[in-house]
Structure 1
């Protein structure tokens, strides 16, 4: 059983952090000089803050889905929804940093936030630990939405 739990954690981490890696590559490869030239709101965090925040959030997401997976009342539709949400998570970075489409990125982000809310509701029914681990992620994405809207207004 312990071996299965370790293996499942590694698999969920691999999938979750793959989304992070794809988004990170899109950001690093296409961010500049475009991002430096757009007008940002005064509350825009410094660039160095994003890597540790996102690393922590992806780790929380991994634990959340892993704990849900090992819950006795889990359902596969929630697992599938988790994977779909990762696609939207990655898509935001590509739309925003690769294609520089701020409005379309906002739409992707709204869909992502709705998916996170659905996941949080489903997690709460089965595993409170998973539920609580997703709340910082939701809050960060809501802040990202505020930033995204501000960028639309300013640019």
Structure 2
């Protein structure tokens, strides 16, 4: 059983951090000078904060889906929704940093937030720890949407 739990954790970690990996590559090559030249709102965090925040959130997401997976009342459809949400998460980075399309990125963030809410709702009846681990991610994505909309207004 312990081997199975370790293997599923590693698999969920790889799936979840695939979004981080792709996002990192895209932002390294396509972020600047475009992003640096944007007029940013006063509440825009410094660039150095994004890596530790996203790393922490991806770890929390991994633990959340992993705990859900090992719950007795889990539903496979929720796991599929989780995987779809990872793809949408990655798509935001591509729209924002690669395509430099702020409006499309905001639209994708709205979809992402809806998916996170659906995941949290589906986790609620299975495991509350999974819910609690997803809440910071929901809050951060909501903040990101506010930033994204502010960038649209300012630029």
TM-score of Structure 1 vs Structure 2, range by shorter chain: over 0.9
Q: CA RMSD in A?
A: 0.4
Deviations 1:8-54 (A, max 9, x none): 00000011001110011111110000001110001100000000000
Counterpart check, 1:145 vs 2:152: no
What's 1:44 paired with?
44
What's 2:80 paired with?
80
Unaligned runs of 5+ in 2: none
What's 2:8 paired with?
8
Deviation at 1:72, TM superposition (A): 0.4
Unaligned runs of 5+ in 1: none
The count of aligned residue pairs is 155
What's 1:89 paired with?
89
Which consecutive aligned stretches of 4+ in structure 1 deviate over 3 angstroms post-superposition? Answer: none
TM-score scaled by structure 2? 0.99
TM-score scaled by structure 1? 0.99
Deviations 1:105-126 (A, max 9, x none): 0000000000000000001110
Structure 1 CA distance for aligned equivalents of residues 148 and 125 of structure 2: 31
What's 1:62 paired with?
62
What's 1:110 paired with?
110
SS, match of residue 116 in structure 1: helix
